[in-house]
Amino acid sequence: MARVKLPIGPQHPALKEPENFTITLDGERVVDVDIRIGYTHRGIEKLMESRTYTQNLYLVERICGICSYAHVVNFTQNVESILGIQIPKRAEYIRTLVLELERLHSHFLWLGVAGHEIGFDTLFMYTWQDREVVQDLLELISGNRVNYAMNAIGGVRRDLSDDQRKKILEGMDHLEKRTAYYKEVAINEKTILARAENVGILKPKIALKFSAVGPTVRASGITMDIRKDDPYASYAEIPFDVITTDTCDVLGRIVVRVLEVFESIKIIRYLMEHLPSGDIVMKVPRKIPVGESISHTEAPRGEDIHYLRANGTERPNRYKVRTPTMANLPVIAEMLKGTFLADVPIVVAAIDPCMGCMDRVLLLKEGSEKQGDLIAWDRLRAYGIKWYAERGWKA
Amino acid sequence: MTVTIERIKEVLQTVTPDIQSKTPRRVFVSIPRAELTKTVNIIASELGAQHLSTITALDTGTVFEVLYHFLVDGIVVTVRTSCPKDDPTVDSIVNIFPGAILYEREIHDIIGIVPTRHPDLRRLVLPEDWVGGYPLRKDWKPPEGEE
């Protein structure tokens, strides 16, 4: 039978975000995959060069809508490293708390998406209901559900009250019970096993070869976790385990994330019980001295690494971001080779891709105009109104 | 055996004397462009590095700097090299670290540094028909007539 090339995306009902996969099929089997990205590139690295460090604090948060805080922590750690300051211990604890709450909500979100991709929408609705508990806690602490604006350069912007600590601990009790149930479901439910076992195989050798990161490699038996390898915030003093499995398949990636939820709950309880007293922020200068710094964190999807070059002014000279999805992209192609077409969505979802995070530099442009033209917002709006008006719609 | 900063200095001093570690678990190794493949090979074979975190490229105004960030036993080892602006090429390290494939495409796409002998230099993040130059160069300006 002749091979068929099947383009999926950038706009496609099975995709949650714009990306393009060109899949070569031999019957129902995938034999080759080509991935195109860049559809949501927003130019953040370039934008950062023209904004002050304080403005960038809020821009960096908008790289991602899920793991926003991992980016902010990297940014503030980089600036603080060049300044040569050590932030107050209480601030470090609060940062670690928000990082772990973020991991909880991200993992619940992912578990729901994974359920949805295999047609198990009950799981999706259950986990997203529980995710609301985490979202409410984040809102209680920071005032926001997604972009928390918790960090300042030199510490955090909001303190924790005793009442908030109590509510966080209550939330953890609830989530622990629910996660115990999800663990049972993930390991025993026949529909999950049928769709996830021995699907999307990633051998440890391949994972290492392509420098993959996060739960994706931990499900291939590789112990890599930046929280342990190169501790930041207050991870060096908190007891927790790095979860790995050696099944190398989608099921392993489910199990790793579910078990990581328990570890996060354990970390949050430790933080709440040992929260030091004292200041939460220190005063820092507006101008950052000449220097460079690398900071990386274990975001929910894996290693998130940032590089900062400062030139003594109020603005960075260069800021570089590499998100975990970018690191995991080459292994998607490896995991897809040999699977059935129907398994493509769940295998892709199993790395927990976040395309918005990964693409950062797009300059908007329209096909009908001269090539390479940029288009300003008001003109784009006028274009949209005209486009619909021509088709009989009212603006 | 766990790799320490002393061990890194010991192994890499055959290539360059310029090895700096100013903050904990961060090492910067500066090398001439011609020594890149040799240095990366040493990092892979003698230090046992398996993880390339990413590649950063930047325009200093006079030259392009390229930084390769490796993770070795919790230490971020950064290899720094540079190329002149009128000859923006560096050797590709894809044959040593296949994980570099997208990172090298990215620096080619947005700053215009050509990794020689790279197997696939299509655009990565900018549109396929982009003619607006290399946005991350310092002398870059948005195409005329627009904001």
Per-residue pLDDT 10s for chain B (147 aa) are 689 999 999 999 999 999 999 999 999 999 999 999 999 999 999 999 999 999 999 999 999 999 999 999 999 999 999 999 999 999 999 999 999 999 999 999 999 999 999 999 999 998 888 888 999 999 998 876 554
- Residues A258, A264, A270, A275: what is their CA dihedral angle, to the nearest 10 degrees? -160
Q: For an interface test with A, which of B26, B54, B129, B130 has the most A Cβ atoms less than 10 Å from its Cβ? A: B54
User: Per 3-state DSSP, what percentage of chain B is helix, strand, and coil (rounded to 5)?
Assistant: 20, 30, 50
Residue with tokens 């940014």: A75
Residues linked to residue A236 through DSSP beta bridges, in sequence order: none
> Mean pLDDT in chain A?
91
Q: Does A209 touch chain B (CB under 8 A)?
A: yes
Domain of B43, CATH number, reads 3.30.460.80
Cβ atoms A344, A117 nearer than 8 A: no
Token couple for A58:
């809020």
What is the C-alpha to C-alpha distance for residues A321 and A328, in angstroms, rounded to an integer? 15
Token couple for A82:
């060049």
Cβ atoms A251, A201 nearer than 8 A: no
Q: Does A373 touch chain B (CB under 8 A)?
A: yes
**Within-domain flag for B95:** yes
B44, closest residue in chain A (CA to CA): A209
Residue with tokens 């820092």: A284
Which position has the higher pLDDT, A19 or B90?
Answer: B90
Which position has the higher pLDDT, A153 or B129?
Answer: A153
Residue with tokens 């501790």: A231
Average pLDDT on A217-223 reads 96
A360, closest residue in chain B (CA to CA): B125
What is the C-alpha to C-alpha distance for residues A202 and A330, in angstroms, rounded to an integer? 11
pLDDT of residue A394: 64
A230·B78 Cβ contact <8 A: no
Peptide bond into B24 cis (omega under 30): no
Residue with tokens 């955090």: A156
pLDDT for A21 beyond 60? yes
* Tally of residues, chain B: 147
pLDDT of residue B25: 95
Backbone dihedral angles phi then psi of residue A381, each to the nearest 5 degrees:
-65, -45
pLDDT for A247 beyond 80? yes
Angle at the Cα of A263 from the Cα atoms of A81 and A104, rounded to 5 degrees = 75
3-class secondary-structure state, position A175: helix
A211·B52 Cβ contact <8 A: yes
What is the C-alpha to C-alpha distance for residues A193 and A366, in angstroms, rounded to an integer? 45
Give this prediction's pTM.
0.91
Q: CA distances (Å), A139 to each of A51, A70, A144, A301, in order?
A: 28, 17, 5, 22
H helices of chain A, in order, are 44-48, 53-60, 68-83, 89-117, 121-142, 162-188, 190-196, 204-209, 215-218, 226-229, 250-274, 324-336, 344-349, 355-358, 377-390
Cβ atoms A27, B118 nearer than 8 A: no
pLDDT for A371 beyond 60? no
3-class secondary-structure state, position B3: coil
Token couple for A275:
């929260």
pLDDT of residue A372: 46
Who among B74, B146, B147 is closest to A230 (CB)? B74
Q: CA distances (Å), A81 to each of A86, A236, A309, B77, in order?
A: 8, 17, 11, 16
pLDDT of residue A53: 96
Which position has the higher pLDDT, A385 or A327?
Answer: A327
Cβ atoms A154, A80 nearer than 8 A: yes
In tens, the pLDDT along A56-66 reads 999 999 998 89
Which position has the higher pLDDT, A95 or B143?
Answer: A95
Cβ atoms A319, A341 nearer than 8 A: no
pLDDT of residue B1: 60
Cβ atoms B65, B33 nearer than 8 A: no
Who among A45, A209, A322 is closest to B53 (CB)? A322
What is the C-alpha to C-alpha distance for residues A365 and B127, in angstroms, rounded to an integer? 9
B68, closest residue in chain A (CA to CA): A307
Number of Cβ within a 10 Å radius of residue A264: 23
Which residues of chain B are within 8 Å of residue A294 when distances are taken between CB atoms?
26, 69, 76, 78
Interface A-B, measured as beta-carbon pairs within 8 A, has a size of 109
pLDDT of residue A366: 38
pLDDT of residue A85: 96
pLDDT for A13 beyond 90? no
Indicate if ipTM > 0.90. yes
What is the enclosing helix (H) or strand (E) of B5?
Answer: helix B5-12
Task: Give the range of the structural domain holding residue B99, as residue numbers without chain letter.
Answer: 5-116
**Within-domain flag for B137:** no
In tens, the pLDDT along A266-278 reads 999 999 999 999 9
**Within-domain flag for B146:** no
Which residues of chain B are within 8 Å of residue A307 when distances are taken between CB atoms?
54, 56, 67, 69
pLDDT for A361 beyond 70? no
Assigned CATH topology for domain A47-321: Cytochrome-c3 Hydrogenase; chain B (1.10.645)
Domain count, chain B: 1
pLDDT of residue A75: 97
In tens, the pLDDT along A273-310 reads 999 999 999 999 999 999 999 999 999 999 999 999 99
Cβ atoms B29, B80 nearer than 8 A: yes
H helices of A275-369, in order, are 324-336, 344-349, 355-358
Who among B124, B129, B130 is closest to A37 (CB)? B124
**Within-domain flag for B91:** yes
Which residues are CB-contacts of A180 (< 8 A; sequence separation ≥ 6)?
none
**Within-domain flag for B36:** yes
* Helix count and strand count (H, E) for chain B: 3, 7
Which position has the higher pLDDT, A41 or A239?
Answer: A239
pLDDT of residue B106: 95
Domain ranges of chain A: 47-321, 368-395
Q: How confident is the model at residue A139 (pLDDT cuts 50, 70, 90)?
A: very high
pLDDT of residue A19: 87
Q: For an interface test with A, which of B40, B125, B134 has the most A Cβ atoms less than 10 Å from its Cβ? A: B125
pLDDT of residue A358: 67
**Within-domain flag for B79:** yes
Give the largest CA-CA distance in chain A. Answer: 71
Average pLDDT on A96-113 reads 96
pLDDT of residue A354: 78
**Within-domain flag for B63:** yes
Which residues are CB-contacts of A118 (< 8 A; sequence separation ≥ 6)?
A191, A192, A195, A196, A346
What is the C-alpha to C-alpha distance for residues A68 and A233, in angstroms, rounded to an integer? 16
In tens, the pLDDT along A164-193 reads 999 999 999 999 999 999 999 988 999 999
